[in-house]
Amino acid sequence: MMKKIRYVFASMLVMSCCLMMACTVNPKEIISRKWKPVDASGTSITENIKDDITKEGNMMEFSQDGKFTSYTEGETPQMGKYIMNEQATELTIQAGAGQETRINIKELTAHKLVLETNGVTIVLHPVK
């Protein structure tokens, strides 16, 4: 009887591990969509700047092939490339001629992206 219980327990453990591995989502898959800024904060962020950042029509789009497009209401979209580190804690954005910006990923889920750079934190939600 004890052997049977151990066998069942071991089987359940193996199945649990397999399910956990199958359910693990690649962070690059999560970030690959359009995101709209819904909040901005930091010592240098005034209400006017926050309103400009979160203005309707502003959004970021990341693709799985490492490209991004930044849309700002009333302006030409800005395009470039991004690299996410293995820990999914940092983005390196390459836009324009040799411009490179490092951005900390504070949170990345299917429903929320929180980015921080130079003391400014921006909260984004996926575009539906």
Per the structure, the complete domain to which residue 110 belongs is given by 26-126
Q: How many other C-beta atoms are found inside a 10 Å radius of the C-beta of residue 48?
A: 8
Write down the pLDDT at residue 24: 66
The amino acid at 38: V
Task: Work out how many domains the chain is built from and give that number.
Answer: 1
Write down the pLDDT at residue 128: 84
Q: How many other C-beta atoms are found inside a 10 Å radius of the C-beta of residue 44?
A: 9
In a domain, 81, yes or no: yes
In a domain, 36, yes or no: yes
pLDDT in tens, 53-112: 999 999 999 999 999 999 998 899 999 999 999 999 999 999 877 789 999 999 999 999
Q: Kindly report the CATH number assigned to the domain that includes residue 65.
A: 2.40.128.280
Write down the pLDDT at residue 98: 77
Write down the pLDDT at residue 97: 76
Write down the pLDDT at residue 74: 87
Tokens describing residue 28: 């690059």
In a domain, 76, yes or no: yes
In a domain, 20, yes or no: no
In a domain, 19, yes or no: no
Q: Name the CA dihedral angle for 40, 91, 28, 111, rounded to a multiple of 10 degrees.
A: -10
The amino acid at 55: K
Write down the pLDDT at residue 10: 42
